[in-house]
Amino acid sequence: MIRLLLLTLSLFSVPCLANIITTPAKPVIGINASESAKRVCYYQDQAYSDGAILQVGEHYMVCKEANDFETNGALKWVQLGSEAVPAQEEIEQTPKAGKRYSVN
């Protein structure tokens, strides 16, 4: 009986002799709030604003909204076709959208 008691006590005392290894606390992630509010597209570590056109090889890319239903969402690069790039004269001639009223 004494042997059984000693054997049981020795088996339960072995885990108490093990080394305790602690893991470090979770890292603190710092976010610069002024940078997170900027809506930009990145290319080669440079930031480009909404509407910027960039030539990459033979292709033209424009920085546009990722989702057309968001007004302050993320931006992404979208490839432009040659027909999608309007000339400067066409931009100036297009009427501006707005409310129009007629007086009778």
Q: Give the domain range for residue 46.
A: 39-83
Give the count of beta carbons closer than 10 Å to the beta carbon of residue 80: 16
Confidence at residue 99, expressed as pLDDT on a 0 to 100 scale: 66
Confidence at residue 40, expressed as pLDDT on a 0 to 100 scale: 87
Confidence at residue 53, expressed as pLDDT on a 0 to 100 scale: 92
- What is the side-by-side strand order in the sheet with 75-80? 53-56, 59-65, 75-80
What distance in Å separates the CA atoms of residue 88 and residue 3, rounded to the nearest whole number? 97
Give SS3 for 42: strand
Confidence at residue 83, expressed as pLDDT on a 0 to 100 scale: 45
Could you read off the pLDDT tens digit of each residue along the chain, which spans 104 residues?
888 887 777 777 666 666 777 777 777 767 666 666 678 888 888 888 888 999 888 889 999 888 888 878 888 899 886 444 455 555 555 555 666 666 65
Spell out where 25-91 has E strands: 41-43, 46-48, 53-56, 59-65, 75-80
pTM of the model: 0.44
The answer to whether position 22 is within a domain reads no
The answer to whether position 73 is within a domain reads yes
The answer to whether position 59 is within a domain reads yes
Domains held by the chain: number: 1
